[in-house]
Structure 1
Amino acid sequence: MAKIAFILLCHKDPDAIIKQAERLTAAGDLMAIHFDARAPKTDYDAIRAALDSNPSVTFAKKRIRCGWGEWSLVEATLNAVEAAEEAFPKATHFYMLSGDCMAIKSAEYTHSYLDAEDVDYIESFDFFESDWIKTGMKGDRLVYRHFFNERKYKRLFYAAYDLQKRLGLKREIPADLQIMIGSQWWCLRRSTIEAVLDFCRARPDIVRFFRTTWIPDETFFQTLVRHLVPEVELRPRTLTFLMFSDYGMPVTFYNDHYDLLLGQDFLFARKISPEARELKRRLGALYASRKLDFDISNEGLSLFQFLTGRGRVGRRFAPRFWEKEASLGRERELLIVTCKKWHVAKRLVDRVRQATNLPAVEYLFDEADTALPNLGGIQASLEKRTRHRRALMRMLFDYYDTDRLIICLDPASLELMQDFYSDRSKTKMLEVQCQFTDEYLIGHAHRVGLAGEHTPKEVMDRLLPTIRNDVIFESDRIRDADFPHLYRMRQTASVDENAAPLAQFLELPYDKAREIAAAHYLFAD
Structure 2
Amino acid sequence: MAKIAFILLCHKDPAGIIAQARQLTAAGDFIAIHFDARAAQADFRAIKEALEDNPNVTFSKRRIKCGWGEWSLVQATLYALEAAVEAFPRASHFYMVSGDCMSIKSARYAHDFLDADDKDYIESFDYFESDWIKTGWKEERLIYRHFFNERQHKWLFYKCFEAQRALGLARSVPDDLQVQIGSQWWCLRRRTVEWVLDFTRERRDVMRFFKTTWIPDETFFQTIVRHVVPDREIECRPLTFLLFTDYGMPMTFYNDHYELLLRQDFLFARKISPDATDLKARLGALYVDDAAEFQVSDEGRNLFQFLSKRGRIGRRFAPRFWETESSLGRNRELMIIACKKWHVAKRLLKRIAAETDVPTIAYLFNENDVVLPDLGGIQKTLDKRMRHRRALMRMLFEHHETERLVVCLDPASIELLDDFYADRSTTKLLELECEFSDDYLRGHAQRVGLAGADTSDDTMKTLLPTIRYDVTFESEQINDRGYPNHFKFAQDQSTQKNADALAAFLGIPMADAANIAETEHLFVD
| TM alignment of 1:260-275, pairs within 5 A | 260-275=260-275
Cα displacement string for residues 172-193 of structure 1 (whole angstroms, at most 9, x for unaligned residues): 1000000000000000000000
Cα distance in 2, alignment partners of residues 131 and 116 from structure 1? 31
Cα distance in 2, alignment partners of residues 256 and 222 from structure 1? 34
- Match of 1:146, SS? coil
Alignment-mate amino acid for residue 126 of structure 2? D
1:92 counterpart residue number: 92
2:69 counterpart residue number: 69
Q: Percent identity?
A: 70
1:259 paired to 2:231: no
2:358 counterpart residue number: none
Bigger Rg, structure 1 or 2: 2
User: In 2, are the aligned partners of 1:92 and 1:190 still within 8 Å (CA)?
Assistant: yes
Cα distance in 2, alignment partners of residues 40 and 182 from structure 1? 31
Q: What RMSD, in angstroms, separates the aligned Cα atoms of the two structures?
A: 1.0
| TM alignment of 1:46-85, pairs within 5 A | 46-85=46-85
TM superposition shift of 1:295: 1.3
2:295 counterpart residue number: 295
Cα displacement string for residues 106-138 of structure 1 (whole angstroms, at most 9, x for unaligned residues): 000000000000000000100000111011110
Alignment-mate amino acid for residue 152 of structure 2? K
2:396 counterpart residue number: none
1:38 counterpart residue number: 38
Cα distance in 1, alignment partners of residues 269 and 178 from structure 2? 29
Alignment-mate amino acid for residue 293 of structure 2? D
Cα distance in 2, alignment partners of residues 36 and 166 from structure 1? 36
TM superposition shift of 1:199: 0.6
User: In 1, are the aligned partners of 2:127 and 2:180 still within 8 Å (CA)?
Assistant: yes
Cα distance in 2, alignment partners of residues 136 and 262 from structure 1? 35
- Match of 1:123, SS? coil
Cα distance in 1, alignment partners of residues 268 and 312 from structure 2? 31
Cα displacement string for residues 427-451 of structure 1 (whole angstroms, at most 9, x for unaligned residues): xxxxxxxxxxxxxxxxxxxxxxxxx
Cα distance in 1, alignment partners of residues 42 and 263 from structure 2? 39
| TM alignment of 1:425-444, pairs within 5 A | none
Cα displacement string for residues 339-361 of structure 1 (whole angstroms, at most 9, x for unaligned residues): xxxxxxxxxxxxxxxxxxxxxxx
Cα distance in 2, alignment partners of residues 311 and 97 from structure 1? 32
Cα distance in 1, alignment partners of residues 272 and 186 from structure 2? 18
Cα displacement string for residues 413-433 of structure 1 (whole angstroms, at most 9, x for unaligned residues): xxxxxxxxxxxxxxxxxxxxx
Alignment-mate amino acid for residue 309 of structure 2? G
TM superposition shift of 1:261: 0.4
| TM alignment of 1:166-205, pairs within 5 A | 166-205=166-205
User: In 1, are the aligned partners of 2:262 and 2:296 still within 8 Å (CA)?
Assistant: yes
Cα distance in 2, alignment partners of residues 112 and 252 from structure 1? 28
1:109 counterpart residue number: 109
Cα distance in 2, alignment partners of residues 291 and 103 from structure 1? 16
1:313 counterpart residue number: 313
| TM alignment of 1:100-499, pairs within 5 A | 100-313=100-313
1:6 paired to 2:6: yes
Cα distance in 2, alignment partners of residues 117 and 305 from structure 1? 30
TM superposition shift of 1:291: 3.6
Alignment-mate amino acid for residue 283 of structure 2? L
- Match of 2:5, SS? strand
User: In 1, are the aligned partners of 2:286 and 2:292 still within 8 Å (CA)?
Assistant: no
User: In 2, are the aligned partners of 1:5 and 1:30 still within 8 Å (CA)?
Assistant: yes
TM superposition shift of 1:100: 0.7
TM superposition shift of 1:293: 2.5
2:324 counterpart residue number: none
Cα distance in 1, alignment partners of residues 173 and 292 from structure 2? 46
TM superposition shift of 1:292: 4.8
User: In 2, are the aligned partners of 1:182 and 1:222 still within 8 Å (CA)?
Assistant: yes
- Match of 1:64, SS? coil
User: In 2, are the aligned partners of 1:7 and 1:81 still within 8 Å (CA)?
Assistant: yes
User: In 2, are the aligned partners of 1:94 and 1:189 still within 8 Å (CA)?
Assistant: yes
- Match of 2:147, SS? coil
TM superposition shift of 1:301: 1.1
Cα displacement string for residues 126-182 of structure 1 (whole angstroms, at most 9, x for unaligned residues): 000011101111001000000011111111111000110000001110000000000
Alignment-mate amino acid for residue 269 of structure 1? A
Cα distance in 2, alignment partners of residues 51 and 131 from structure 1? 43
- Match of 2:31, SS? strand
Cα distance in 1, alignment partners of residues 13 and 261 from structure 2? 23
Cα distance in 2, alignment partners of residues 95 and 313 from structure 1? 40
Alignment-mate amino acid for residue 183 of structure 1? S
1:521 counterpart residue number: none
Alignment-mate amino acid for residue 196 of structure 1? V
- Match of 2:72, SS? helix
Gaps of 5+ in 1: 316-525
User: In 2, are the aligned partners of 1:109 and 1:291 still within 8 Å (CA)?
Assistant: no
1:494 counterpart residue number: none
User: In 1, are the aligned partners of 2:6 and 2:96 still within 8 Å (CA)?
Assistant: yes
Cα distance in 1, alignment partners of residues 71 and 314 from structure 2? 44
